[in-house]
Structures are given as C-alpha cells and as structure tokens.
Chains A and B, each alone.
Chain A
Amino acid sequence: MNILTVILYSTIVLLLLSAFFGFFLGFFSKVFKVKEDPRIEKIASILPGANCGACGFSGCQVFAEAILSGKARLDGCRAGGEETIAHISEAMGMSSDSSYEKYIAVALCHGGRNEANTSAITQGVSSCQMAKNLKLSPWVCEYTCLGYGDCVLACPFGAIVINEDSLPVIDPILCRGCGICVDRCPQKILELFPNKSRVLCFCKSADKGSKVRQACKVGCISCGLCEKKCPENAIEMINNLPVIDIEKCTLCGVCISVCPTKAITLFQALSEKK
C-alpha cells in the first residue's frame, strides 16, 4: 500500500466515523430535547455571573434554578446588590421585600512597610498561603497581613489591590461582600462587616503589649485604655484585643482619641463617605 492510499483511507474512515457520530448526536439531542424553564435563563442573565458562591450554591446557574424551585430566597444573591434583587423579583413576578444589607470586607491590619518591623528578607515566596505554611514571613509580627495578595487573586470583582505599603486596600464600591477573600486569607485578617459606621480595632495580634511594641507601631498593645475610658462600657479586653459591643457603642469616639497607637479607628460606611 503506498503512502497516498494510507492517507486517503485514514482520512475517509475518520471523516465517515465522525460524520456518523455527529449526525447521531444531533439526532439524539433533537429526540431527547428537554424543555427548560425559560425563567432560569432569564434569572441567570440578571445575576452577576461571577460564580462567587456567596449565596451558598455552587454557581449563578445553580442559584437561578434554586430560586425557581423555591430552595433559595429571592434576595439570596449578596454580590448583586439591591438592583439585582429588584430585577429578580420582577422576573419572578413578586414584590421585593428584601432584607438586603450590603457587606464590605475590611482588612484588620494597618501594619504596612512603614509601620511594622521586618526580621528577614524572603525571596521566592509568591503567596500568603505559601508564606504561612513554610513559615517564611518577613514580618516580626506573627499575626500581620503578609501582603503577598492572595486576596487580590481571590476577589472575583477586582475590588482589592495591595498598595505600596504592602497592605490590601478594598474598594468599598466594587466589594460585593461575597466573602471569598475572608476564606482565602491565611492570617484571618479580612472580615466582613455590614455597611454601617463602627469602631474597629485594626490589629489582630494576641501578643502582649511589649511584644507588639517591638513588632509594629500601630498594633494594639493591650493597654486597656479604651476599656477604661469607654463611657458606655462597650469595650472588653479579650485575648489582649479590645472587643467592641456594637449594641452599646454610640460612636462617641473616646476610644479612638485615647488609643496610644491609633489601632482603634472609625470604619466609615459607604453612604456617609460620599
């Protein structure tokens, strides 16, 4: 058999085979066509399509199906915000009585390059998880933000950037409060808070005061001044960190002014910033 017939035969056989399979599949997909609810498609197109999973389902398509089968609430999509919920309610022909509340991720560490001390220079470390697992952190503080930007890569909405101070900066408008970065951060620096002004301690160090002082200029040194000075008794020191009772706090700002390291700061809600 010469080479041309070999090529010809193999081409023809493969062509025939794939043509046969193609027709076969096309025929079968016509015969076994399943009618899907057109509303699934409609709702899926309203959803942000980021498949962030904040709703508790594995993706936007699955969430759309869950809405139609009544397994999910209409206001289940936290990432989409009020607008999406209104559109979904309209598509489903229901009034929206949503209890929607915008959440924003906050990085609870202010110890950047200028404020925190380093003990080593690390090379070849490309992610926070890697630095955490191999204990290759350049920082003195054990609880600090590592600054390699796992949260930046994790964010489906591109809301996080690492600034020149090697701290994550979260755009409160772009952040949809899905909480993926919160899960991804190996240091548990990021937390979700409702979009309301509140007093926060921007330090997660459970170390004693002297140790924190050696590591960082803006860490909580657990002096307890805020606890003593708070007129509402809303602050309690637990694990060398102030825990602020949001029910009692009146945002008077006494703790912010007495804090010697400025670890306690006001977190401003989005609407009040504008």
Chain B
Amino acid sequence: MNDLQQLGQILLQSIFAQNLVFIRFLALCSFVGLTADFNSAVGMSWAVTFVTVLASAVSYVVYHFLLVPFNLEYLQTITFILTIAVFVQLVEIYLKKAIPSLHRMMGIYLPLIASNCMILAVALLNVTEKYNLLEATVFSLGASIGYALALIIMAGIRERLRYAKVPELMKGYPLIFIASAFIAIAFMGLQGLGR
C-alpha cells in the first residue's frame, strides 16, 4: 500500500508540481516549435511518451549494470545521449516496418526527439532521485504526460490566438512566450499536489 502511495505521489508530482516544461523549463524548443497546430502537438506527445518511457528504462539498465560496477558514473550524460539516440533510431526503423501508419504519424517527430532535452533530463533525474526501475518508469510516464499536457494546452491557446487581434509587435513568438509564462505561473499553484 505504501509503495502504491509513493508511486501515485511520483506520478502526480511529475505531471503537475514538477512539470518539465512549465516548472523545470525543459524541452522548450519542441514546445514552441510544434504547438502551431493541434494535430502535430498530439502526434509529438505520443511519440515522446513512447520514447521517454522506453528510453528511461533502457538507460536505467545501462546505468546500474554497466556504469556503476565500473565506477563510471561520471559518464552518465554521454552514455544516456548515446542510448537515447540509438533507441530513437531503433524505434523509427521498427515502426517503418511494422506499423507504417504510426510511422507516418510520428515519423517526422522522431529525429526531433533524439535531440529533445526532456528525455535526457528524465534519464538523469532518475539517477539523482535514486529511483528504482518501477519508480523510474512511473516517473518517466508522468513526465511525458506532463509534457503532453503542456503541448496540448499551448496548442489550444495558439489556435485561439490565431483569431485574436494582436498588435503587430507582439505577433508570433513574443505572445507565445508571454502566454507560456502565465501557464507556468498557474502550474506553480499546483505545487502542493502529490506532497
């Protein structure tokens, strides 16, 4: 029961209180770049969720069974980057063969994911927070749900902004940054969740 409670805590924390986009300010590049249209935001969210959960599990194994025994913890960043890049490539090759429809939907986002700092951050946070494999998986799932939430909220806002009268000076990115700052303030109000 206690375990289950803790897992729930980690999930809620990673979605809201420690939301990677709005509280930790990670993955802002894809957050700004892919929210112009709702469908691509949803596609990217799916692809990120898929890769984050699997890549964090794989990098957990690499860290604990390869780096720790050799006292090579300081190599974590470079090995995690390697692992994630390989994994993204693998997913792309597999999807292209096995599920072409999904590949067509996610395909263009997969190379973007390889350089998405959120996935590396999740893998690194798993190490610093000393999670076990189950906790790490739950944390990465929560983090990617939080990312999806951020993308979907922003895509919705941007679809409405398209019909709003905006001063010429504020059009485009300035307004997006202001809007995301407001959402970030709102997310700070959720700090108590999962404590």
A residues whose Cβ falls under 8 Å from a Cβ of B: 1, 9-10, 13-14, 17-18, 21, 24-25, 28-29, 32-34, 133-134
Q: Given the known A-B contacts A13-B66, A133-B168, are A32 and B72 also in contact in the complex, defined by CB atoms under 8 Å?
A: no
CA distance A28 to B169 in the complex (A): 50
Minimal beta-carbon separation of B106 from chain A (angstroms): 15
For the residues of B in contact with A, the DSSP-based class is: helix
B62 at the interface (CB under 8 A from A): yes
Interface contact A25-B86, CB-CB below 8 Å: yes
Q: How far is the CB of A190 from chain B (nearest CB, A)?
A: 20
Q: Which residues of A contact B100 (CB under 8 A)?
A: 34
Do residues B70 and A33 form an inter-chain contact, with CB atoms below 8 A? Answer: no
Cβ contact within 8 Å between A18 and B93: no
Instruction: For the complex, give the distance between the alpha carbons of A28 and B97 in Å.
Output: 11
Residue B79 is within 8 A (CB to CB) of chain A in the complex: yes
Instruction: Return 21 A-B CB contacts under 8 Å, by A number.
Output: A9-B72, A10-B72, A13-B66, A13-B70, A13-B72, A14-B75, A14-B78, A14-B82, A17-B62, A17-B79, A17-B82, A18-B82, A21-B83, A24-B86, A25-B89, A25-B90, A25-B93, A28-B94, A32-B98, A34-B96, A133-B169
Distance A25 CA – B98 CA, assembled complex (angstroms): 16
| B94: A residues at CB distance < 8 A | 28, 32
Q: Which residue of A lies closest to B97 (CB)?
A: A32
A34 to B97, CA, bound (A): 6
List, in ascending order, chain A residues with CB within 8 A of B90's CB.
24-25, 28
Is B93 touching A29 in the complex (CB atoms < 8 A)? Answer: yes
Q: Are B71 and A1 in contact (CB under 8 A)?
A: yes
Let me know if B93 and A32 touch, CB within 8 A: yes
A25 to B168, CA, bound (A): 49
Q: Are A33 and B75 in contact (CB under 8 A)?
A: no
A32 to chain B minimum Cβ distance, whole angstroms, is 4
Given A18-B82, A21-B82, A25-B86, does the pair A10, B97 have CB atoms closer than 8 Å?
no
Report, nearest first, the 6 A-B pairs whose CB atoms are least far apart: A32-B97, A21-B86, A32-B93, A29-B93, A34-B96, A9-B70
B133 within 8 A of A: no
0/1 string, B58-81, CB within 8 A of A gives 1: 000010001100111001001100
How far, in angstroms, from A74 to B152 measured CA to CA in the complex? 38
Q: A21: nearest residue on chain B (CB-CB)?
A: B86
Given contacts A28-B90, A32-B96, 16 further A-B contacts (CB under 8 A): A9-B72, A13-B75, A14-B75, A17-B79, A18-B82, A24-B86, A24-B90, A25-B86, A25-B89, A32-B93, A32-B94, A32-B98, A34-B97, A34-B100, A133-B168, A134-B169
**Residues from 3 to 43 in B contacting A, C-beta threshold 8 Å:** none
By the criterion CB–CB under 8 Å, are A28 and B75 in contact? Answer: no
Chain A neighbourhood of B70, CB < 8 A: 9, 13
B89-112 at interface with A (beta carbon < 8 Å): 89-90, 93-94, 96-98, 100
Contacts of A32 in B (CB 8 A): 93-94, 96-98
Q: How far is the CA of A21 from the CA of B62 in the complex (A)?
A: 12
